[in-house]
Chain A
C-alpha cells in the first residue's frame, strides 16, 4: 500500500508548492501583487479605522464621508478651530437671529449641477429633518433664498455657535436629488468625487475635474477601512497602505526605527479625565476631591503611558482652542490637611479612615481606550501610597455604568471642542439638568453663565466668559483633567502633504501628493 500512495502524496506536495509559489510571487519591483495598479496614475492608499455603513451625508456616517475629501460644508474650521469660509464665501449677522450667507460662485456638484442658494437650502433642510443632533446644533427656524448666491438663515433663538456649527459634517452640502438615484453615488462638491464604495472594505475617490478650488495632486485615493489597530499598523509596514491614522503610541517606536515612515502627531481636541461621583459618600466633600486631584501624576502619565504624545491637562478644553487656555491654581494645602478637613485620620496601617471606615473607592474604566485603564492603575498606585485604597473595575459600557451602577471615580474621555465653540460641551456636560452630567455636578451660577454664553456672538467676549465658566467649575473640582492626548498618524515617506490636524474632518485633502 505504501508504494501505491507515495506517488499520490508526492503529487499532492508538489501541487501545494506550486499553489504557494504562484500565490506568493512578487513582481520585479519587489512589491506585493496587491499593488499592481495603473502606474501612470498618481494614487495613494490610506487606512482609516472607521467604516461607513452607507454614503448618506446626513446620517451617522457624515464624519467618514467628510474625512474622504469628497464633501464640503458652508464653513471650514481653521487649524486653531476658528471658522473660515468654504462653500460660504462670506456671512454677516443681520440681527440677533438672522444671518446672511454669500455663497462661492462657479461651484458644481459632482454630477455637474451648479450649486446655488436653493440647493444649499434643500440640503440643510434635509440635514435637520433627518438628524435631531443637527437640528439642535443649528436651531433653524426658517431659510430664504435671497438671490442665486445668497441664503438667509433665521434661528429660533440667539445661536452664537451657528457659524462654527455649520462646519459640522452633519451639515454637508449635497445635491439632494442625487440621493434618490440608486444607480449613482451622492453628488457632493469636494475636490475628490466618489469612484467606488465597497461596503466594509474601501472607498475609492478620484480627482473631480470640475472642482472650484485647488485641484487634487493625486488622481485617486483609496481609503481602506481597517478597524483593528495592529492590522492597520501591519498594512502600513507591508506597503499595502501608504498612510494610517490612529496609530497606538506603543507602536510609534516600531515605525520610527527604520527610515520608511514619518510619524506625525497633532494636538487633539480630546481630553482624558477622571470623574468624581459627587453623590458618593467619599467624594461629596470638596476637600477629598482636591486631595485626589493633587495626587494625580499628570506629567508621569504623559511620559510613561502616553510616551510623551500628549500634554498635561488643566481644563476641559485642549489649549489648541483659545478658550482652552486656562490657568490652574496650585493647591496650597497638603494632602493631610485636605483629608483632615473632611474628618479623615490615618489608622495604624497608614490608611485613611473615617468613623471606623477605611477609605476604599471603586474606580471604573472601560476597554475601548486601553490607555485609560493603564492611567487608572498609575493613579491607583499613587493613591495607595498616600493611604487611599482604590479598586479598579472595567465595564463594557461606561456611559451605562455611570448611570446605573455604584461608583466613586471613573476614567472618561471625550472630544470637547470639535465644533470650535465651547458652548456645546459646557451645556451638555456641566448643566445641572443634563443627562450627560453623569457625576451630578450642580451649580446655579455655572448654569446661568452657560446660558449667558449662548447669547454672546462676539468671539472675544465669548472666549473670556468660557474661561470664567471653567474657572468657576474648577472651584468645585467635579473632574480631574489628566491628559490632552495627541493624535498619531504614520505615513510612508513617499507621501507628502498629509497633515496631522487637531480637527478630524479634513484628513484626505487636495495637498496630499506622492513623490516617486
Chain B
C-alpha cells in the first residue's frame, strides 16, 4: 500500500473511532440532562396533560426501557444504517437532516464567499498599503469582528438594512436577497480576523530569502506575489477556512435563529428544546463526520500547496 493509501486508511479509522466516541458520549449526556421528551412534547402548547398521556407517549417512544437497553438498540440501528426516527415529526432523522441541508449549505457557501472576499481583499490590500488608511481600517475591522457578538451584528444589520433603509428582507429564504444579511453576519467577522492572519503571513514571507532570490533572478513582481508569496501565506488560511466552513455547514445556530433561516442550526435548537433524542444524536454524528471529512480535505489541500507536508 502506498503512502497516500495508508494515510487515507488511517484517517478513515480515526474518523470511525471519533464519531463512535462522540455519538456514545452524546447518547448518555442527552439522557442525563433534565427534561422528559414525552412531557415536553405534550406540554408544548403549555396545556396540562394527564399521566396516562405521558406514560403512553413514553412507552411509544421507547423511553420506558433501561438506558443500557436503549443504547444497545440504538447501536444496532446505527450499524444497520438507520439513524432513528424523530420523536416530534415521526419521520426518519436522516431525511429530516437532509431536508434542511440545502438551506444550510446555501448559507455556508455564501458566508464562506463573503469571508474569503474580505480575507483576500483586506489581507492583500493591507500589505500593499501597509500602515496606511486601508491597513488601519482592516485593523479596526478585525478588532470589531472578534469583539462584536454575532447575535448583535445580526440584529443590527436587520435594523439598519431592513427596518430603517428597507433594502433587504429581514428574514426567511425566499430568494437570493434573503441570504445577503445572514451570510454577511457570518462572513464579516471571520473575514476580518482571517485578513489579519493573511497580512501577517504575507509580511513574514516578504522577508524570506527566496523572495529576494526571485527578485534577483528577474522574476516579475506579479509572479512572485501570486505564485510564491500568496501560495505560502495561504497555507494557514486554508486550515482556518476549512474549520470555519465546517462550523458554518454544521449550522450556524445563532445566525439561523435570528434570520429564521430554515437550516440545520435552527432545527437542532428546536430539537434540543424538545429533547428529540434521535435528532440530537443524528445531528452530532452528522456534524462530527462533516468536521472530520473537511479536515481531511484541508489536509489534502495543504499537501497540494506545500508538498513538504507529505513527507512529514
Partner-B contacts on A (CB < 8 A)? 1-2, 4-6, 9, 12, 16, 23-26, 30-34, 51, 53-54, 56, 59-60, 63, 132-133, 136, 198-202, 224-228, 230-231, 234-235, 237-240, 270, 395-397, 399-401, 404, 413-416, 418, 424-425, 427-429, 434-436, 504
Q: List 19 A-B contacts (CB under 8 A).
A: A5-B125, A6-B128, A16-B117, A23-B180, A32-B166, A33-B177, A133-B49, A136-B52, A201-B260, A227-B257, A231-B158, A231-B258, A235-B162, A235-B171, A238-B166, A397-B40, A399-B36, A399-B40, A400-B39
- Which of B53, B225, B260 contacts A225, CB < 8 Å? B260
CB distance from B227 to the nearest CB of A (A): 14
Assess the A26–B166 pair: CB atoms within 8 A: yes
- Which of A33, A225, A231, A400 contacts B36, CB < 8 Å? A400
Assess the A235–B170 pair: CB atoms within 8 A: yes
Query: Using Cβ atoms and an 8 Å threshold, which residues of chain A touch B225?
Result: 1, 5
- Between A132, A413, A416, the greatest number of chain B beta carbons within 10 A of the residue's beta carbon is seen for A132
Given contacts A1-B225, A23-B168, is CB(A132)–CB(B178) below 8 Å?
no
CB distance from A450 to the nearest CB of B (A): 13
Please give me the residue from chain A that is nearest to B46 by CB atom: A415
Given contacts A34-B177, A401-B34, is CB(A24)–CB(B161) below 8 Å?
yes
Query: Using Cβ atoms and an 8 Å threshold, which residues of chain A touch B28?
Result: none
In chain B, positions 29-54 with a C-beta closer than 8 Å to chain A are 34-36, 39-54
Please give me the residue from chain A that is nearest to B130 by CB atom: A2
- Which of B49, B51, B88, B170 contacts A231, CB < 8 Å? B170
What CA separation (Å) do A136 and B44 show in the bound complex?
Answer: 17
Query: Using Cβ atoms and an 8 Å threshold, which residues of chain A touch B210?
Result: none
Assess the B49–A238 pair: CB atoms within 8 A: no
Contact with A along B241-283 (1 / 0, CB 8 A): 0000000000000000111101000110010000000000000
Please give me the residue from chain B that is nearest to A369 by CB atom: B46
Assess the B177–A201 pair: CB atoms within 8 A: no
CB distance from A493 to the nearest CB of B (A): 17
Assess the A199–B100 pair: CB atoms within 8 A: yes
What CA separation (Å) do A25 and B162 show in the bound complex?
Answer: 12
CB distance from B94 to the nearest CB of A (A): 15
What CA separation (Å) do A270 and B47 show in the bound complex?
Answer: 9
- Which of B50, B174, B257 contacts A136, CB < 8 Å? B50
Query: Using Cβ atoms and an 8 Å threshold, which residues of chain B touch A30?
Result: 166
Query: Using Cβ atoms and an 8 Å threshold, which residues of chain A touch B292?
Result: none
Query: Using Cβ atoms and an 8 Å threshold, which residues of chain B touch A25?
Result: 167
Query: Using Cβ atoms and an 8 Å threshold, which residues of chain A touch B34?
Result: 395-397, 400-401, 404
CB distance from A404 to the nearest CB of B (A): 7
Interface size class of B (residues with CB under 8 A): 35 or more
Query: Using Cβ atoms and an 8 Å threshold, which residues of chain A touch B49?
Result: 133, 428, 436
Q: A5-B124, A436-B49 are in contact. List 7 more A-B contacts (CB 8 A).
A: A23-B180, A32-B162, A33-B168, A33-B175, A136-B53, A198-B262, A436-B50
Assess the B159–A234 pair: CB atoms within 8 A: yes
What CA separation (Å) do A5 and B225 show in the bound complex?
Answer: 10
Assess the A429–B168 pair: CB atoms within 8 A: no
Assess the B177–A23 pair: CB atoms within 8 A: yes
Assess the B222–A237 pair: CB atoms within 8 A: no
Query: Using Cβ atoms and an 8 Å threshold, which residues of chain A touch B173?
Result: 201
Assess the B167–A429 pair: CB atoms within 8 A: no
Partner-A contacts on B (CB < 8 A)? 34-36, 39-54, 56-57, 60, 86, 88-91, 99-100, 117, 121, 124-125, 128-129, 155, 158-159, 161-163, 165-175, 177-178, 180, 221-222, 225, 257-260, 262, 266-267, 270
Assess the A9–B128 pair: CB atoms within 8 A: yes
Compute the total of residue contacts between A and B using a CB distance below 8 Å. 178
- Between A133, A401, A504, the greatest number of chain B beta carbons within 10 A of the residue's beta carbon is seen for A133
CB distance from B188 to the nearest CB of A (A): 12
Assess the B169–A53 pair: CB atoms within 8 A: no
Assess the B178–A34 pair: CB atoms within 8 A: yes
- Between A34, A56, A202, A270, the greatest number of chain B beta carbons within 10 A of the residue's beta carbon is seen for A34
CB distance from B159 to the nearest CB of A (A): 6
What CA separation (Å) do A396 and B33 show in the bound complex?
Answer: 10
CB distance from A318 to the nearest CB of B (A): 13
Query: Using Cβ atoms and an 8 Å threshold, which residues of chain B touch A201?
Result: 172-173, 260, 262
Assess the B128–A34 pair: CB atoms within 8 A: no
Assess the B168–A32 pair: CB atoms within 8 A: yes
Assess the B56–A132 pair: CB atoms within 8 A: yes
Assess the A200–B267 pair: CB atoms within 8 A: yes
Assess the A228–B51 pair: CB atoms within 8 A: no
Question: 10 tightest A-B contacts by CB?
Answer: A200-B262, A24-B167, A132-B56, A34-B169, A53-B89, A428-B48, A238-B162, A397-B35, A400-B34, A201-B262
CB distance from B265 to the nearest CB of A (A): 11
Assess the B170–A238 pair: CB atoms within 8 A: yes
CB distance from A436 to the nearest CB of B (A): 6
Assess the B163–A226 pair: CB atoms within 8 A: no
Query: Using Cβ atoms and an 8 Å threshold, which residues of chain A touch B266?
Result: 200, 227
What CA separation (Å) do A401 and B36 show in the bound complex?
Answer: 11
What CA separation (Å) do A23 and B44 show in the bound complex?
Answer: 39
Query: Using Cβ atoms and an 8 Å threshold, which residues of chain B touch A231?
Result: 155, 158, 170-171, 258-260
Assess the B169–A32 pair: CB atoms within 8 A: yes
Assess the A226–B90 pair: CB atoms within 8 A: no
Please give me the residue from chain A that is nearest to B48 by CB atom: A428
Assess the A228–B260 pair: CB atoms within 8 A: yes
- Which of B41, B86, B167, B171 contacts A240, CB < 8 Å? B171
Query: Using Cβ atoms and an 8 Å threshold, which residues of chain A touch B270?
Result: 51, 227
CB distance from B115 to the nearest CB of A (A): 14
Given contacts A9-B128, A32-B162, A32-B166, is CB(A53)–CB(B86) below 8 Å?
yes
- Which of B46, B52, B124, B174 contacts A34, CB < 8 Å? B174
What CA separation (Å) do A414 and B43 show in the bound complex?
Answer: 9
What CA separation (Å) do A16 and B39 show in the bound complex?
Answer: 51
Assess the B45–A63 pair: CB atoms within 8 A: yes
Given contacts A32-B162, A132-B56, is CB(A228)–CB(B48) below 8 Å?
no
Assess the B169–A33 pair: CB atoms within 8 A: yes
What CA separation (Å) do A425 and B121 show in the bound complex?
Answer: 63
- Which of A51, A239, A415, A418 contacts B166, CB < 8 Å? A239
CB distance from B20 to the nearest CB of A (A): 28
What CA separation (Å) do A218 and B302 show in the bound complex?
Answer: 58
Query: Using Cβ atoms and an 8 Å threshold, which residues of chain B touch A224?
Result: 171-172, 260
Query: Using Cβ atoms and an 8 Å threshold, which residues of chain A touch B42?
Result: 60, 133
Query: Using Cβ atoms and an 8 Å threshold, which residues of chain B touch A132?
Result: 52-53, 56-57, 60
Query: Using Cβ atoms and an 8 Å threshold, which residues of chain A touch B121?
Result: 9, 12
